[in-house]
Amino acid sequence: MLRITIAQLNLTVGDIEGNVARMVAAARQAAREQSDLIVFSELALCGYYPADMLDEPPFLQRVQDGVAALQKASAELPALHWVVGAPMPARGPGKKLHNSLLVLQGGNVRLQYAKQLLPTYNIFDERRHFEPGPDVAKVLRIGSAQVGMLVCEDGWNDHGADYIVNPFERLRDAAPDLVISINASPSHIGKREQRHTMFGGSSRRHGLPILYVNQVGGHDQLVFDGGSFATEPEAGVVFEAPRFAEDVRTLLFDGGRFLTAEGKRPAPVPAQGLPTMEFYRQQILLGLTDYARRCGFTQVVVGSSGGIDSALTLALAAQALGPQNVVGITMPSRYSSSGSVDDSATLCRNLGVQLLTHPIAELVAAYARQYEASFGQPLSGLPLENLQARIRGTVLMEYSNAFGHLLLTTGNKSEISVGYCTLYGDTNGGLGLIGDLYKTEVFALARHVNEQAGRELIPQAIIDKEPSAELAPGQRDTDSLPPYPVLDEILKLLIEGDRLSPAEQATAATLVAQLEETDAGAALVQRVHGMVARNEYKRRQAPPILRLRPRAFGSGRQMPIAAKYV
């Protein structure tokens, strides 16, 4: 029988000393619980993913110092084996590093395994820094069990479609009693079920129990949801750690079965995870909390327009950081409706958030007068509309600079896709919370926030209001864009395609096919495609957005700016 402690920790990229301290604390807890083995996540020592920090000699020296510190700590707990992820030097030609798994015990490195499959798709770029490990299986006897080791992607090619090498087959041939897979698997909608399907299938095919340990926490655009789990060949997934939270938990492994520390079978694991909107809410809350904390911010500021996007952003920020740490600023112009200002006041009162007012009508008029004096023609049309957005963006950045608040941008995926936003205006900010939500999802999440709170945090008047930028008289989003239920389906198929869930893909494909049956519909689809292509330059300059879906803007969708798309 093995006692195994899972260390699902929220570690910080680059904070070697801090990460070591957290890992040692978890190991001491494991020792108190008389565990044989503690398992940390992929690249736990340095955090995932350090990117080009891996090219810096001082950083690599700190990594080596961290390994030495862990070895020293392991010598103080000689009965405990530590499974640790860390970048380690590679020998021979190629890149200078391996993405490695180390097993430490009694101050010594008892096993070292180098990750073989290095992903370079979507948000991953590991081959930029690491050399693939050799095609060998690594198994270590710990107590009465033979334990095999894998690192993340090595377990994702059991179907054999993505790489020539399948480390799972080699490991199966080594006949371990248990497989441990350390991971840094970022979260998006449907990812939990994908993991369970993939590793549950491998467990059945090879007759191998698998313990999957994941990291948790927000790192720039990415959020890691934890959700470490154990799967058995016959029973499937039998244990799951909490999602979106740290967890240090001890399990027993006895006779091919996983048990609680008390020797009982774990509670049944539901096949389906969180409902979609609750998943979005929790992912955004953790992403914002960690982004602000790691970047040194305790407070945020949001431009409050009285529209649905800023309302949802304010509500989520208040839940993540506490309403006392959130400030809204309403900036009415000559085109702002009284309802929008009133709705902002009601919203912030419901949330307990401070609302400040900074009118911009006089600033806009002064800009317009000087523009005409300098350039000989009146300021009107699109330049005047964008000027209002840019003045608001400047006011928000002034507040951020003066008071030290992180400015949250409020654009959604529909608007960002087609460029329905103003550079250096409403795109200003340090982080976008809802930039991976289509507009129809923004409305759905706003309703969910109210339902989850059990009261009307976001006023129904805001949810019911027809979307408008309010930059011109009587302006509505539909003056420039197709209705959002139509636009969103076109965008989903174009941007995410086969990465959509089967249900989403079928819905989007059906609607687009129906549109393309008429000349007007086909022209609309083509127009949307052109808008997406023409506005890559705006997305390139936009703040990072929290990733919620399989393909998000940023590192997950890398497109050229100066290119012919059609």
Are 100 and 113 within 8 A, CB to CB?
yes
Burial of 566 (0-12, 13-18, 19+ CB in 10 A): exposed
CA–CA gap between residue 160 and residue 152 (Å, rounded): 15
CA–CA gap between residue 38 and residue 51 (Å, rounded): 26
Residue 543's nearest CA partner among 422, 410, 394, 428 is 428
End-to-end CA distance of the chain: 62
Burial of 271 (0-12, 13-18, 19+ CB in 10 A): exposed
Give start and end residues of each alpha helix (H) in 125-267. Answer: 167-173, 191-206
Map tokens 């920090």 to a residue: 53
CA–CA gap between residue 285 and residue 291 (Å, rounded): 10
Pairing assessment for the beta strands 300-303 and 406-409 based on DSSP bridges: parallel
Reduce the DSSP state of residue 81 to 3 states and report it.
Answer: strand
**Strands of the sheet with 229-232, listed across from one edge:** 139-142, 145-151, 178-182, 210-213, 229-232, 236-240
Pairing assessment for the beta strands 222-225 and 247-254 based on DSSP bridges: unpaired
Task: Indicate left, alpha or beta for 114 from its phi (over 0: left) and psi (-120 to 50: alpha).
Answer: beta
CA–CA gap between residue 270 and residue 405 (Å, rounded): 40
Q: How far is CA 316 from CA 122, 285, 408, 433, 443, in A?
A: 27, 7, 11, 8, 13
The residues carrying an active-site annotation are 42, 115, 152
The angle at the Cα of 131, spanning 130 to 134, to the nearest 5 degrees, equals 140
CA–CA gap between residue 189 and residue 321 (Å, rounded): 23
Q: How far is CA 150 from CA 71, 178, 236, 394, in A?
A: 21, 11, 19, 50
Stretch (H or E) spanning 252: strand 247-254
Q: φ, ψ for residue 395 (rounded to 5)?
A: -60, -45
CA–CA gap between residue 70 and residue 48 (Å, rounded): 18
